[in-house]
Structure 1
Amino acid sequence: MQPITIHHLTFAYPGQEPLFTDCQLDLSSDWRLGLLGRNGRGKTTLLKILQGRLDYRGTVRTKLTFSYFPLTIHDPAAFTVDVLRASQPDLAQWQIERELGLMKVDPLLLWQPYQTLSGGEQTKVQLATLFAQDDTFPLLDEPTNHLDQTGRQQVARYLSQKQRGFIITSHDQRFLDQVVDHTLVIERHQLVLSQGNYSDYFRQKKHRDQAALTSNHQLKDEIKALKHTRQQRLQWAQRAEGEKKNNAHADKGFIGAKAAKMMKKTISTTHRLDQAIDQRQGLLKDVETVVPLTINFQPGHQPTILTLDRVSLGLPGRTLFPPLSFTLHRHEQLALTGPNGAGKSSLIRAIRGNFPGNISGQISLGTPAVSTVRQNYHNHGTLAQFAAQNSLPYDELLNILRKLGLARATFTVPIEQMSMGQQKKVELARSLLTPAEFYIWDEPLNYLDTYNQQQLITLIKEYRPTLLFVEHDQHFIDAVASRVVTIEHR
């Protein structure tokens, strides 16, 4: 066991509010630690600080050498084994094959060009490479992205059997419950370290939030009563002053002295009341809230939005999947599921008219008003420029990003400098604001925190937009899909 000791850690990106202020942490290399928190709270930043990739104030003490997922890939056209060995030159091929065997992954993947592997296959060979290094401590940043359901279970079993620690970030609740035994959660104004998995933390947080809500309700009632009393005192003093001015026949000296005494007493009383109000306002606790989202769904009159009649896709030398047929009607939510590499994203490209291979069969799209969430996107520039480029109302873009949890301080940050979760929120906001009759979302949950996931579930249940989506999170599929179509390998 090796400790990771953090003292007085303070960090902020230039021009932004601090992510960490005087933080103290004691972690152990024996733990399988889940690093959790809303997008933009600093999860990836903390992993970079541990690696010494960012300047910060405070100290981080450890004898550990860290390895990091995802690896940096320099030549994706090379054979996978060469790509991995170039990333970690001290590794032998047999060590990577050993880990792939433990993961139940075919080692023949090593002899394919890296760029031909699916996203899930690339994740698995990278994880095998990290854990093949016996002398490093793995930092795993969102490894569940691009893994299909089978792959997530495969990797979860592999990680849960490891007799060594790691730190992992993910927004897949079921996956985290299987692999972590401690959690470190970056909440709005504190770091919460606890023993147990995600569900254990979430249960504790619900109790804390409920207690905070009860306390806040009582404090707000007290603040309201104190403000009412303060207003009464001010009104009494003003009446006394008015009596002095308006009573021409009374003893103005007596009335003036009375008014001055009343005003002095009022000033003293209101000062004490102000202090009491400030004290109670300081006790109010932040509770994470989820604001309902809106969508610019404009359903037309056509009952049928999309029809596939014996559609199959081909790339040079292979066919992706057997002929596929289905019909999508207005207000339906259809989930496309299947293993990595089966052709789900390729089918979306074919529906959108930009698949580079061969298409057989018939695709009939009944509307041009389509809004997408892309799996791969490269948005850049300021939010104002992004709004103009996509014909979006700038104020509405900012409003929906605030609902998604993007801090106001981030509004001036170029999109390419945002965290991956924040960038995903920009991509999602574009789709929600674009007027559309049909939505096509390719892995919409990647990088989104659990609060955002629940917002999308609530939104889809309320509006019932016509939706075709690819997703590997079973909880989300169960919650929103009216129908599931599974694509199998050829």
Structure 2
Amino acid sequence: MLIALQDITFEFGARTIIEDSSLHIIPGDRIGLIGLNGTGKSTLLRIINGEYTISKGSINKIRNLSIGFFNQDLLSFETDDSILNVGMTAFEQALKVEKELEELTAKLEHSQDEALLHEYSDKLHEFDTLDGYNIRHKTATVLEGLGFSTADLERPYNQFSGGWRMRVLLARLILQQPDVLMLDEPTNHLDLPSIEWLEKYLSNYSGAVIIVSHDRYFLDRMVNKIVEVYQEQLHHYAGNYSDYEKEKVLRRELQQRAYENQQDYIRQQERFIERFKAKASKAAQAQSIAKRLDKLERVEQVDGGPSKIRMNFSVDKMPGKILCTLDNVSKSFGDLHILKHAKAEINRGDKIGLIGANGKGKSTLLRVIAGTEPIQGNRTPGHNVVTSFYAQHQLEDLHLDNEILEELKSCGSGKTEMELRSLLGCFLFQGDDVFKKIRILSGGEKARVALAKVIISQANFLMLDEPTNHLDMNSVEMLIDALGKYEGSLVLVSHDRYFVSKTANKIWEIVDGEIKEFKGTYTEWEEWKKRQALAAQPPKPDKKSASAAASVSAPAPAQPVQAPANTPSANKPIDKDLKKELQKQQRQFQQLEQQIAGLKDKMQLLEADLANPDIYGDKQKFLNAETAYKKATAELEKANKEYETVFEKVMELEEKMQA
């Protein structure tokens, strides 16, 4: 047991966040912490981290437990140091020993004191034990896995935007390898390749991991337990997020059945009490039943769950068949070429998911389609196209002095105040929140207001850049439902694979400056990519072809030629020295045969490793496998040459024996 939270209660003023709840964390746990926004997920992480004090219960941790906590507060960190050096601060002790070695080296240049030499030797051993020679390589591997280029590693940390800084701090936290790693919305700052890299890394992480995330795909692949913060309680479920959804439905059904059965029992007992309480012969019995009812532990009725309010897009006019055509379009930023003579067409009814790594030009392509980005080539808009564009930079169009409700009213959608308030409720603005000024809202809150404006815009063509970043799971589901019923067309950029899989009917990817289109859902695209990767792998030889190849690369051992009994050599005295040498060469020949067979088996295993796409997610594993394969290839080549040399010697000696 790493951490035990036993019957804890935590309160903010008069509000209870968690009451009489327990949580036990053991090595190997992968816990997904879920719940509606504001229910206390991040609060629970801070309780575990020791930042908040509980009002009741106990928290026990093993001695010297290390906890790593990834959250938005880390952005207060500032430095002009390179991101490589920031990442390397994870190895605090190794860096300390390295500095001490530098100081000792400087002293030894002027003195050969034996005590200094001993100290230097001890420090070298400690540095080696801490794997100090590899900390630079380890840091670079993790940073590059999270999307940084090799050239980026020496750039100052302060030159990067907030999202990229969070990646650096995530890398540092990963490199520290704490016993318990707590991640609060880690995928908000990552593109798809980086999320996939993080998934592979965490799959092999030796400590416990607690994840707060609205990314269902990420939770499904990462966690083996779900803890839901709901109605001030911690509810535990075994399995991943999909397992949790099934189990929760079953639990709710059982609870509702138990509630209904108990209510029937209570009504029956109350009728008995009411009927016989005034009758002398039954009064004592009625009183006894009343006391039992008072002590009865009541089963709670199942509540209605999260809000079922539905978002609805309305389309004012029907566009033509083609909404936008790009022909021979090129776009560059200095030496960075985003599009090179690219072609694409968006048709009425298309719901396109634009995917790929950060820096490939997804947001640029959205602006090209919208006509707000200068290009070389032709962009032809369609007939009757009414566009609405949602992106982070669109927040500048909000009127800061307006209240939230007033901002939506100004769009001229014709919706009533009640309809607008219901819509804002989907975006987590409840009650008097709708009267807040835009000026005082956080970045995430402004983003939700901007997205609400898109929904009521009556546009027939939507462009959405990361629309789910500031929504909880319930709101994402409402948005998915609305986009599913939307009669217009759209192009969206999102790192949320579940969202893309539920909304897009086409996938676009920018590859070498071209727009590659896949006609199908994201799930179908993933399956297609897997088939492409398998098809690109070299075929595995079957046993027959392998043995045939072995006979070609390594000649079969020559059988000693026996002289016929009637030949003169049959009666010739045997040269003992010659026979001894022949036997020696034959033994060496057999050893080489065995060595070659072993090397071929080893190479087959290494080829299988290199053919596995998962190995490319871990740079160190790939380098190790590639080095081992090259080494085995060289050894096999050397063994084959020795094999041929020994074979010739055996043939030569056998000829001499026959002479």
When normalised by structure 1's length, the TM-score is 0.73
1:329 aligns with 2:347: yes
Q: What does 1:464-475 align with in structure 2 at a 5 Å threshold?
A: 464-475=487-498
- Structure 2: which 5+ runs fail to align? 96-131, 279-288, 514-659
- Contact 1:290/1:455 (<8 A) preserved: no
Give the distance between the partners of 1:128 and 1:28, measured in 2 at CA: 23
CA distance 1:200–1:325, shift in 2 (3 Å): same
Which structure is higher in RCO with an 8 Å CA cutoff and minimum separation 6?
1
Count of matched residue positions in the alignment of Structure 1 and Structure 2: 442
Residue 194 (structure 2) aligns with: 151
- Contact 2:403/2:434 (<8 A) preserved: no
When structure 1 is superposed on structure 2, of 373-382 and 205-214 the one drifting more is 373-382
When structure 1 is superposed on structure 2, of 161-170 and 53-62 the one drifting more is 53-62
Displacement of 1:344: 0.6
Aligned-partner SS, 2:75: coil
CA distance 1:470–1:28, shift in 2 (3 Å): same
1:321-359 deviation line (CA, Å, top 9, x unaligned): 33332222333212211222101112224445655xx63
Task: Kindly provide the amino acid, as one letter, of the partner of residue 8 in structure 1.
Answer: I
Give the distance between the partners of 1:428 and 1:218, measured in 2 at CA: 45
Q: What does 1:392-471 align with in structure 2 at a 5 Å threshold?
A: 395-403=418-426, 407-408=430-431, 425-471=448-494
Residue 359 (structure 1) aligns with: 375
Displacement of 1:156: 0.5
- Contact 2:34/2:41 (<8 A) preserved: yes
Give the distance between the partners of 1:413 and 1:48, measured in 2 at CA: 28
Residue 3 (structure 1) aligns with: 3
Give the distance between the partners of 2:349 and 2:452, measured in 1 at CA: 20
Aligned-partner SS, 1:206: helix
CA distance 1:302–1:387, shift in 2 (3 Å): same
1:331-389 deviation line (CA, Å, top 9, x unaligned): 3212211222101112224445655xx63223344568433332467699999712324
Task: Kindly provide the amino acid, as one letter, of the partner of residue 485 in structure 1.
Answer: W
Give the distance between the partners of 1:404 and 1:370, measured in 2 at CA: 22
Give the distance between the partners of 1:147 and 1:307, measured in 2 at CA: 30
Give the distance between the partners of 1:421 and 1:50, measured in 2 at CA: 26
Residue 127 (structure 2) aligns with: none
Task: Kindly provide the amino acid, as one letter, of the partner of residue 138 in structure 2.
Answer: R
1:388 paired residue among 397, 406, 409: 406
Displacement of 1:309: 2.5
1:43 aligns with 2:60: no
When structure 1 is superposed on structure 2, of 82-91 and 183-192 the one drifting more is 82-91
Residue 581 (structure 2) aligns with: none
Residue 517 (structure 2) aligns with: none
CA distance 1:311–1:432, shift in 2 (3 Å): same
Residue 634 (structure 2) aligns with: none
Displacement of 1:284: 1.4
When structure 1 is superposed on structure 2, of 308-317 and 106-115 the one drifting more is 106-115
- Contact 2:88/2:139 (<8 A) preserved: no
1:140-197 deviation line (CA, Å, top 9, x unaligned): 1111124333322211011011111121112222222222222211123421123332
- Contact 1:102/1:158 (<8 A) preserved: no
Give the distance between the partners of 1:430 and 1:424, measured in 2 at CA: 10
1:389-447 deviation line (CA, Å, top 9, x unaligned): 45256543321133456554765777798898766544432322233232111122224
Task: Kindly provide the amino acid, as one letter, of the partner of residue 45 in structure 1.
Answer: T
- Structure 1: which 5+ runs fail to align? 234-260, 262-271
Aligned-partner SS, 2:173: helix
Give the distance between the partners of 1:89 and 1:403, measured in 2 at CA: 46
Give the distance between the partners of 1:60 and 1:416, measured in 2 at CA: 41
Give the distance between the partners of 2:401 and 2:24, measured in 1 at CA: 38
1:138 aligns with 2:181: yes
- Contact 1:100/1:128 (<8 A) preserved: no
Residue 391 (structure 2) aligns with: 374
Give the distance between the partners of 1:421 and 1:49, measured in 2 at CA: 24
Residue 317 (structure 2) aligns with: 300
Aligned-partner SS, 1:205: helix
- Contact 1:37/1:43 (<8 A) preserved: yes
1:101 aligns with 2:141: yes
1:39-68 deviation line (CA, Å, top 9, x unaligned): 232222322333344566346554644332
CA distance 1:55–1:280, shift in 2 (3 Å): closer
CA distance 1:52–1:427, shift in 2 (3 Å): farther
CA distance 1:123–1:341, shift in 2 (3 Å): farther
1:178 paired residue among 221, 226, 245: 221
CA distance 1:302–1:200, shift in 2 (3 Å): closer
2:17 paired residue among 16, 19, 22: 19
1:93-139 deviation line (CA, Å, top 9, x unaligned): 95364155368736554224557779886565433211211456322
When structure 1 is superposed on structure 2, of 157-166 and 304-313 the one drifting more is 304-313
Aligned-partner SS, 1:320: strand
Q: CA RMSD in A?
A: 4.4
Residue 345 (structure 1) aligns with: 363
1:66 aligns with 2:82: no
Aligned-partner SS, 1:286: coil
- Contact 2:226/2:244 (<8 A) preserved: yes
When structure 1 is superposed on structure 2, of 374-383 and 94-103 the one drifting more is 374-383
Q: Equivalent pairs: percent with the same residue?
A: 26
Task: Kindly provide the amino acid, as one letter, of the partner of residue 49 in structure 1.
Answer: I
Give the distance between the partners of 1:310 and 1:289, measured in 2 at CA: 48
Give the distance between the partners of 1:201 and 1:419, measured in 2 at CA: 32
Higher gyration radius (CA): 2
- Contact 2:326/2:378 (<8 A) preserved: yes
